[in-house]
Structure 1
Amino acid sequence: IMLAAINPDDTTDVWQTKISLISKYIDLILTSRTIEGKTNNYDNLKDIAFTLTKEVRDKKLPELLTYIQGEWQKYQNNIDRLDQFTYTKSDRSDMLYILARIASHLEDELTLTNKVGFQTYWQRDRGMKTFDIEHLLKDAYDVTSLPGDHGFTDAKDYSEYRNRIGALALLPRSRNRSLQDNSYKNKLHAYHAENILTQSLCEDYYKHNPVLTKYLAAKPKITLSGIPDFSKDHITKRADAYKAVAFEIWEKP
């Protein structure tokens, strides 16, 4: 698909820009399908790939940009459904990919000197240093581990919301396993020493952090804040923050 838009007379800047545009567009298509619950395999993508190859073939850069901009919205709209995206309804690698993109984007925006980076979040051959998806809430519906106004109606409701993206983060496998199935409040102290997705749950992370304060002031839709005790409402709020970051990542070129 990427090569279809390249012409022999393209300058280096032009063909690199073309490939960058098409790469971002393909990434959006695949991410959009993931959020919809669709499988990205050969059988499901061959017709899409064939059609897209024909659409971008031999286009000049301005024509390619106009075409991609015109198609962007119909896929970007699915990001609005990200708050419904759950661990149980998707392949774990799909959830890991989206959380890794969100985490690395925040690291770049905040110019962190200790950032992990997308490649490290995503890499699967690092043994116990591989990153796992962390459930912020315990596996079992245990009201003693929840705030008094937790908002869950019953165990089924709890299980559904516990697996939504707003109740998930990332941790190195060794840390994830050492914390085991502990309550949120008992894990919060460990979160402060980890990556941006868990650090942003800690109230102290927002103190004396001018870069973060400035960033959040400029991005009112990214409603990140410290959460001393996790309830159902916090899952929704956290998912909305993730969704706002995702709209930045997959912003129209």
Structure 2
Amino acid sequence: MSKIENKIEASDENINDLLKDKKFYIDYFQREYRWQEKHIVTLVEDLTTTFLKSYVPEHSRAEVANYQSYYLGPVVFSNSKVGKDSIIDGQQRITSITLLLIYLNNLQKNHSSKVAIENLIFSEKYGEKSFNMTDDDRQEVLKALYEDGEFNASKIEDETTININERYRDIDNVFPEELTGDALPYFIDWFIGNVIIVKITAYSDENAYTIFETMNDRGMNLTPTEMLKGYVLSRIKDKQKRSEINEIWKDKIWNLHQYDSSADIGFFQAWFRGKYAVSIRQSKAGAENEDFELIGTRFHNWFKDNHETLFDLKSSDDFYFFFKNQFVFMIDWYMKIWDNMIELNYGCPHIYYINRWGIAPSLQDSLLLATLKHTDNDAIVLKKLDAVARFIETYTVRRSVNYRKFSSSSIRYTFFNIIKSIRDADLDILKDKLLEEIESLSESFSNVTNFSMHQQNRRFVKHLLSRITGFVDQEVGRPTNYVSYQEPKGRKFEIEHLWGNKFNRHKDEFEQENDFIHWRNSIGALILLPNGTNQSFSSDIYEEKLDHYIKENAFAQTLHPEFYKKNPNFLNSQTLNEVGFKPHEHLKKDDIAERAKAVEQLCYKIWARSYYKN
């Protein structure tokens, strides 16, 4: 190697230094962007929480430079070709940073104070923009997100494009509302100036790959779970008992890892937060981390500091019996919760639903475990879990139809207080407390009549329509349910607009195209149809499509007059009669309004408060 090829450089850089007017080439062996929802949610929550610890509205923006920094980890580049940085390790993070920058740039478009971040997203040469991530596969989706804030991925099957689009939507779902107003330029200043990455540059591919292997193959640090295990076993003096707990621990953690390699971390965080945490950090500058945050970062240390006062674990036998009984009970039910999230269990269906539309796992899992007691039998546990999960779904659906977000940072105090209030509660008391929480919600289902779909809430609309369609099918005695529409094993279902996207057909009712688009996307103008069926006649006139709808699911069939004849299961259903369904041979704006009113009534039936009174 020449002298320059032997060289390795490392420097700490903020986002601005790393990305400004730069180009990064992605190596062929790691082209796919594979971050999942949990990864992007954790990143956004960590970043926004760290910022909010320092933020004071009265500060000048210059004071942001003194805010707490956030370390995002190392990235490795090869500069074997002069002037061209090839990403060896860190592509997932840089792609995610780019997505967040695009989201922030779109968010500030109508803001009075803007931060210049365009040159962190793309560079321009000879009048043409090219993104900092120079991979042809992702240019189309990045361009669409940057220019329009949305991308139509319905016909795209490329893994990277799909994931980029979905992670952008996740950012929109989780980004805190309190940072979208006056605090936004402060946060952007902080993000590009106080988030630190260690940039490692090698000038030969050989050295770059050696660094990559060293970072990824030789990590022998003990995990928090392993450190907790070591401490627990050290407190059990009897050799035979210590060996017994060790075998139990190994067996349970191995089983947990069959779900996810980091599932053990999530379990201990959920268990300790749900059952033992008594404090949470205040939302003010300089506030110290409390139980909730300490469990999230170093739960093994938190346990060592608190097992006597919060767990009442003092003697060797205390540790032995606690981990033989409580630990086994909680970890077994944590895995059963996971099972019920994967496959619908009619004994506890809402666990399945909230895995598709729930709150952040950092709150959700703790809430589910909080009420469980190792003396509860299986039937009681399932009822408790379903009651809590139903509350979570009721909360998220109500918020969503009112266009309200529920990012972890904005609801953490509310839900932490709920966690404490239901901790160890018996079933009847649990139901009473959850009903109190539901009745105190400021958002109701009445706004469903004004609710419409847009690009960023399509996932929720699919969930809502799947719940509604499955519910109506069940009421008329059909075997189909939520799963049949949300995650069928065969032909998939898509959202169907009852009106084709033809503004000129509706000028008798609308002067402005925007008004037409709003009504076309109203929840009263949407149904679910099998993929392909909706595409084959989606632009047809409603009256021509109506005869097709009579062949589909019961919710679609309620549009057709024939459905109301000789259909005893429907006609004899008191629940559906109270909804106020009526046929619509023609579909005007008033018909859509009536249909939306029926959806509102369905919501009150599906998430009826009477559930908690039985």
Q: TM-score w.r.t. structure 1 length?
A: 0.87
Match of 1:7 in 2: 373
Q: Is the 8 A contact 2:527 2:556 kept in 1?
A: yes
Establish whether residue 102 from structure 1 lines up as the match of residue 489 from structure 2: no
Alpha-carbon shift at residue 173 of structure 1 (Å): 1.2
Deviations 1:156-176 (A, max 9, x none): 322211111001111111101
Q: Is the 8 A contact 2:452 2:523 kept in 1?
A: yes
Match of 1:122 in 2: 486
Tell me the SS of whatever aligns to 1:2.
helix
From the superposition, tell whether residues 177 and 219 of structure 1 become closer, same or farther in structure 2 (CA, over 3 Å). closer
Establish whether residue 183 from structure 1 lines up as the match of residue 541 from structure 2: yes
Match of 1:203 in 2: 561
Between 76-85 and 3-12, the greater mean CA deviation after superposition: 76-85
From the superposition, tell whether residues 207 and 233 of structure 1 become closer, same or farther in structure 2 (CA, over 3 Å). same
Taking the aligned partners of 2:526 and 2:547, their CA distance within structure 1 comes to 17
For 2:531, the aligned partner's letter is R
Match of 2:425 in 1: 59
Alpha-carbon shift at residue 119 of structure 1 (Å): 0.7
Q: Is the 8 A contact 2:473 2:555 kept in 1?
A: no
For 1:172, the aligned partner's letter is P
Q: How does 1:81-230 map to 2 (within 5 A)?
A: 81-88=447-454, 90-112=456-478, 115-123=479-487, 129-143=491-505, 151-215=509-573, 219-230=576-587
Taking the aligned partners of 1:122 and 1:78, their CA distance within structure 2 comes to 24
Taking the aligned partners of 2:439 and 2:536, their CA distance within structure 1 comes to 42
Taking the aligned partners of 1:243 and 1:105, their CA distance within structure 2 comes to 13
Match of 1:231 in 2: 588
Tell me the SS of whatever aligns to 1:132.
strand
Taking the aligned partners of 1:244 and 1:186, their CA distance within structure 2 comes to 28
Match of 1:79 in 2: 445
Alpha-carbon shift at residue 75 of structure 1 (Å): 3.5
More strand by share: 2
Q: Give the percent of matched residue pairs that are identical in Structure 1 and Structure 2.
A: 24
Q: How does 1:238-249 map to 2 (within 5 A)?
A: 238-249=595-606
From the superposition, tell whether residues 220 and 191 of structure 1 become closer, same or farther in structure 2 (CA, over 3 Å). closer
Establish whether residue 18 from structure 1 lines up as the match of residue 375 from structure 2: no
Q: Is the 8 A contact 2:570 2:576 kept in 1?
A: no
Alpha-carbon shift at residue 125 of structure 1 (Å): 7.4
Deviations 1:38-73 (A, max 9, x none): 334444454444332222111122221111121122
Between 226-235 and 59-68, the greater mean CA deviation after superposition: 59-68
Q: Is the 8 A contact 2:399 2:443 kept in 1?
A: no
Higher Cα radius of gyration: 2
RMSD of Structure 2 on Structure 1 (CA): 2.3
Q: TM-score w.r.t. structure 2 length?
A: 0.38
Taking the aligned partners of 1:209 and 1:76, their CA distance within structure 2 comes to 39
Structure 1 residues without counterparts, runs of 5 or longer: none
For 2:486, the aligned partner's letter is W
Q: Is the 8 A contact 1:37 1:89 kept in 2?
A: no
Tell me the SS of whatever aligns to 2:529.
strand
Tell me the SS of whatever aligns to 1:170.
strand
